[in-house]
A = this chain, B = another copy of it.
Amino acid sequence: MALALKFLVITIAILALTSSPSTASDPSPLQDFCVAVNDSKATVFVNGKVCKDPKLVTADDFFRPGLNKPGNTSNQLGSIVTAVNVNNLPGLNTLGISLARIDFARRGLNPPHTHPRGTEGLIHFQLNVGKTNAIAFTGLSSQNAGVITIANAVFGSDPPINDNVLSKAFQVDKKVIDDLQEEFWWDNN
């Protein structure tokens, strides 16, 4: 655990050089709890989630096991994010907060990204600069902060962004853009 914290300290310092955080606040709750109905079972959709009938709520709705299991970092980034938010912990609905565990292999990278509805809304990344694996736990100020991985959103969107646009925006030859768009854009989220 000490290592994970040391890691956090170092990468936050790096982050501060390249960006600064921003946030958005979820609407406040209007009752003691409002356990989310899973979207696949919902017949009505609202801003956020509709709630389970309060009479049917159980302790399990506030419970999510498994965060003690390391994620699999055997991928091109050497990192994996395990998010706990309203989509998999229904009791978080209307509470305005969520969290994530991030596992890093040595030199593992959580690549440049933003959270459109959460803390650190500017572009930021985390890099494991230590000599071993590392773990980070992060809190986010929304029940569903979202994540936009910059490289994937720009070069891996489906349908693709017109390569003339990207060529002009990044000031590189269209051939470079076309190559980038043909990569396999794996997402660690």
Number of interface residues of A (CB under 8 A): 101
Task: Let me know if A54 and B50 touch, CB within 8 A.
Answer: no
Secondary structure type dominating chain A contacts: loop
Smallest CB-CB separation from A62: which chain B residue? B16
Task: Let me know if B109 and A32 touch, CB within 8 A.
Answer: no
Provide the residues of chain B in CB contact with A95, threshold 8 Å. 21-23, 119, 141
Task: Let me know if A169 and B68 touch, CB within 8 A.
Answer: no
Task: Let me know if B150 and A154 touch, CB within 8 A.
Answer: yes
Question: Provided the pairs A1-B68, A23-B96, A123-B154 are in contact, do residues A117 and B30 lie with their beta carbons within 8 angstroms?
Answer: yes
Task: Let me know if A33 and B5 touch, CB within 8 A.
Answer: no
Cβ of A73 within 8 Å of any chain B Cβ, yes or no, is no
- Give min CB distance, A59 to chain B, whole Å: 4
Provide the residues of chain B in CB contact with A63, threshold 8 Å. 9, 12-13, 16
Task: Let me know if B17 and A31 touch, CB within 8 A.
Answer: no
CA distance A175 to B172 in the complex (A): 13
* Contacting residues of chain A (1-37) with chain B, CB-CB under 8 angstroms: 1-2, 4-6, 8-9, 12-34
Given A16-B59, A176-B176, 11 more pairs with CB closer than 8 A: A9-B65, A14-B162, A17-B59, A28-B117, A46-B50, A116-B122, A122-B153, A123-B148, A125-B165, A127-B165, A155-B170
